[in-house]
Structure 1
Amino acid sequence: REAADGELSTDTASDPRKMRLSRAEYKQIVRWTEQQRPTRQCMKVLKDKFPNHSQSTLLSIFSLEYQKRTKRTISRHHAPDVIESYYQRYCIIAVSIASYSLCFFSHLYHCVDLSPALMARLILDRFLLDLEGGMPSKTILNSMLKEPSLIPDQILAKHIYQCTINDCCYGPLVDCIKHAIGQEHEVLLCDKLKERNLSFLDENQLRAMGYDKTPDIILEVPVAVEGHIVHWIESKASFGDDHSHRTYLNEQFWSYWNRFGPGLVIYWYGFIGELDCQRDRGILLKDCFPTDIVTLCHAAQQPE
């Protein structure tokens, strides 16, 4: 299923649209995202432009690219004089707003190229500075972002709420969705393994056994996928681009390989095809649960 409002879908296993992209296809999508803002409306534009790609794949690519843009520029938005200018512009406009429209915030975050949720956080943080007479605690700030009804200013509360639900890259709603989808795909992976009667240990079981850094699944009996031995499986509910895959290789996958042997990574929302170049070294990439698993029993039954 795919959500009409641009949220990530969880039914990736049966999605017939293209998930494994060439680097050229990926760069074409990236170029189109460069001028887009992180609102749910932008996903409609991307869907229309690239109808052959999953909406979840497009959203994952856009989110990854926008986060890279934000990391390059976020420091300038946190300068005290910049925050003050944003807040004073908000205060001037808010006094004259009779309704709870999003017009000011929409105009502001489009002008400065900052996500709605991050802009809302800056404005709320500055508002609380006056309200509390000092630097607000992160606990209070985060609780108000998650539950805007706690904000004493009703107009600001409405603006914060609208920014949160309109942002497809940042904010408490996006964090909650991503966490839930990650867990759903881990459950999906476990269900697929059980359907194949494959014995495995999941991450929780491994941690209980004392392992501190583990893949999502370790197979108690290894299998073969497309002629490659697999001892472990890692589930990634995201798109595998160059930057994220390189980071995962250095911080996770190679350490899994060193400890447990060769394994399989499933990027449920697709990946750049050229990244699947470590098969001979022991790391296989797929965009769905493999259908051609060969177990030890099957191998033993093969005619000589």
Structure 2
Amino acid sequence: MTDTAKKTILNHEQYSTILDFIHNYRGLAIDCELEMEQRFPEIHRQTLKSILVTEMGLRTKIHFSNYQANAVRLLRIFEDKSAHSFNNNILIDIACSERMSPVILCRIILQERYKDFQKSDIAELMKKPNLIEDEKLAGNVRQCTLSDNQEGPVVDIRRRCLGEEYEVKLKKMATDAKMAFFDENDLRRTGFDKTPDLKLVLPCLYKGCVVNWIESKALFGDAKTHRRYLYSQLSSYSNRFGPGIVIYWFGYHEEIVHLKENGPGLIILADFPSLEHLEFLNT
């Protein structure tokens, strides 16, 4: 099955089955991602990856204070194991047993080992493990940063680039559709603070519904994520500019289309609107 034929819009049963798989998985997120692609071949790979990112981030947020409270114990475990081994996978094994992100575990271990260091110093050690005097710890930190696809400086850069990539994609598709629009930079220069990715110069119709703006989200839209964007962005766009479209490029849980918080005029899509469904004003 080609990627274009795979599902991105999920019903409650499909979404719940994926969440159960993630919640019950024991191991690294990078391995979970690979196994999800085998377990759910009918669902788009980017959809699965985006759901995994959200769930791993939520797990870290919920348990982070507990991770920090166990810093002394976690460091002791590493020191006990490393005293008898030169294995660079010790921290990886601890992360798996504690159901933690390897990079988060490294930060906690380094903060406990080097209590007098500033956050910026710890960040530097994460980026450059060769600066860590303890060779065993350095090797383990390096291995963790290479094995974690959810946390770390490289992951942050990749996610930022992904968001920018889909904003560029949106602008190209809108230009190809002969839409005239202002982008975020144009709107901010005119004094707007919260701005959609595209504000149409002239509204168009999508399946008979008025569209004044389009927002790009390079992720999967679950109910919690969508509500957060409603409160922080989308409702403001609707109040200021009128009806518009939000595109969740990696799909969405079908229930978010029916949320009462959406208000009138918010259209939710998983791709750029098809030209056959668009009507433009004659100028």
1:262 aligns with 2:247: no
Q: 1:105 to 1:276 in 2, by over 3 A?
A: same
Distance, in Å, in 2 between the alignment partners of 1:270 and 1:210 is 32
Q: Is the 8 A contact 1:115 1:170 kept in 2?
A: yes
How far is 1:227 from its partner?
1.9
Distance, in Å, in 2 between the alignment partners of 1:108 and 1:184 is 35
How far is 1:280 from its partner?
7.1
1:140 aligns with 2:126: no
Q: 1:204 to 1:158 in 2, by over 3 A?
A: farther
Per-residue CA deviations over 1:16-54 (Å, capped at 9, x if unaligned) read 311111122111111111122442111121011100111
Query: 1:64: which partner in 2?
Result: 54
Query: Which amino acid in structure 2 is aligned with residue 288 of structure 1?
Result: D
Distance, in Å, in 1 between the alignment partners of 2:134 and 2:272 is 49
Q: Is the 8 A contact 2:223 2:255 kept in 1?
A: no
How far is 1:290 from its partner?
0.9
Query: 2:171: which partner in 1?
Result: 190
Gaps of at least 5 residues in structure 2 are none
Gaps of at least 5 residues in structure 1 are 3-13
Query: 1:116: which partner in 2?
Result: 102
1:20 aligns with 2:9: yes
**Aligned ranges 1:68-217 → 2 under 5 Å:** 68-79=58-69, 82-99=70-87, 101-102=88-89, 104-129=90-115, 134=116, 136-217=117-198
Query: Which amino acid in structure 2 is aligned with residue 183 of structure 1?
Result: E
Q: 1:293 to 1:158 in 2, by over 3 A?
A: farther
Distance, in Å, in 1 between the alignment partners of 2:46 and 2:149 is 11
Distance, in Å, in 2 between the alignment partners of 1:213 and 1:66 is 28
**Aligned ranges 1:278-293 → 2 under 5 Å:** 281-291=264-274, 292-293=277-278
> 3-state DSSP class of the match of 1:230?
strand
Per-residue CA deviations over 1:158-208 (Å, capped at 9, x if unaligned) read 221221221222222221111010000000001111112211111122222
Distance, in Å, in 2 between the alignment partners of 1:105 and 1:227 is 56
Query: 1:10: which partner in 2?
Result: none
Per-residue CA deviations over 1:247-280 (Å, capped at 9, x if unaligned) read 1111111111001111100001100112113677
Query: Which amino acid in structure 2 is aligned with residue 28 of structure 1?
Result: T
Query: Which amino acid in structure 2 is aligned with residue 122 of structure 1?
Result: I
Choose which of 43, 52, 73 in structure 1 pairs with 2:33.
43
Distance, in Å, in 1 between the alignment partners of 2:210 and 2:166 is 22
Query: 1:294: which partner in 2?
Result: 279
> 3-state DSSP class of the match of 1:201?
strand
Distance, in Å, in 1 between the alignment partners of 2:186 and 2:134 is 47
Distance, in Å, in 2 between the alignment partners of 1:39 and 1:159 is 17
Divergent runs of 4+, >6 A: none
Q: 1:193 to 1:207 in 2, by over 3 A?
A: same
> 3-state DSSP class of the match of 2:237?
helix
Per-residue CA deviations over 1:96-141 (Å, capped at 9, x if unaligned) read 2234x21x11221112111111111111212222xxxx2x211111
Distance, in Å, in 1 between the alignment partners of 2:84 and 2:143 is 19
Distance, in Å, in 2 between the alignment partners of 1:280 and 1:257 is 9
Percent of paired sites with the same residue:
33
Distance, in Å, in 2 between the alignment partners of 1:157 and 1:208 is 47
CA RMSD of aligned residues (A): 1.9
Query: Which amino acid in structure 1 is aligned with residue 225 of structure 2?
Result: S
> 3-state DSSP class of the match of 1:198?
coil
Choose which of 231, 234, 241 in structure 2 pairs with 1:250.
231
Q: Is the 8 A contact 2:86 2:136 kept in 1?
A: no
Q: Is the 8 A contact 1:165 1:173 kept in 2?
A: no
Q: Is the 8 A contact 1:38 1:169 kept in 2?
A: no
Query: 1:274: which partner in 2?
Result: 255
How far is 1:71 from its partner?
2.1
